[in-house]
Amino acid sequence: MRTLDGVSDKRFSSLTPKSKAALVRLMCEPSRCLMPHEVAIAADLSYEEAFELFIGLGIVGAVSLYILLYHMCSEAPVDKIPITQGIPRFGYCCPNCGLEVENTDVLELDLEATVLTPIAWR
């Protein structure tokens, strides 16, 4: 279990007790995958706040972060890349349809967090 400091750590200082409780419930299972919109709704955060929270949780080692790639050929993600690898370079071949992506206009990105360890708040 990872104990996070919601007071002195500025990444988490704006979270309300209700938001923290929701996050503990969401992050109680290792390997659970979470999306920013899911966390935003459950913890009463904006999408941007949930996105920033994911980055903070990734920095402290509570989650692994992945970039989800969406291509025009599918409503579901066509690829899942560890955030440490960054966004694919041009010439990326879509694994779903085989088309070579020449520019970012045909890609949508999102973030996914995989829980590494349950969290608690100090």
CB neighbourhood size of 76 (10 A): 9
pLDDT 10s digits, 42-100: 999 999 999 999 999 999 899 999 999 999 999 999 999 999 999 888 888 999 999 99
Q: Is the dihedral of CA 83, 9, 22, 46 positive or negative?
A: negative
Pairing type for strands 107-115 and 33-34 reads antiparallel
Give pLDDT, residue 45. 94
Ordered DSSP codes for the chain: -EEE-TTT-TTTTT--HHHHHHHHHHTSSTT-EE-HHHHHHHHT--HHHHHHHHHHHHHTTSEEEEEEEEETT-SS-SEEEEGGG-SPPTTEEPTTT-PEE-SGGGEEEEEEEEESS-EEE-
pLDDT 10s digits, 17-43: 999 999 999 998 899 999 999 999 999
Q: Which residue has the higher pLDDT, 111 or 60?
A: 111
Give pLDDT, residue 8. 61
Q: What is the mean pLDDT of residues 3-15?
A: 74
> Distance between CA 53 and CA 111 in Å, rounded?
11
Q: Which residue has the higher pLDDT, 103 or 39?
A: 39
Q: Can you give the pTM of this predicted structure?
A: 0.87
Q: What is the mean pLDDT of residues 105-110?
A: 89
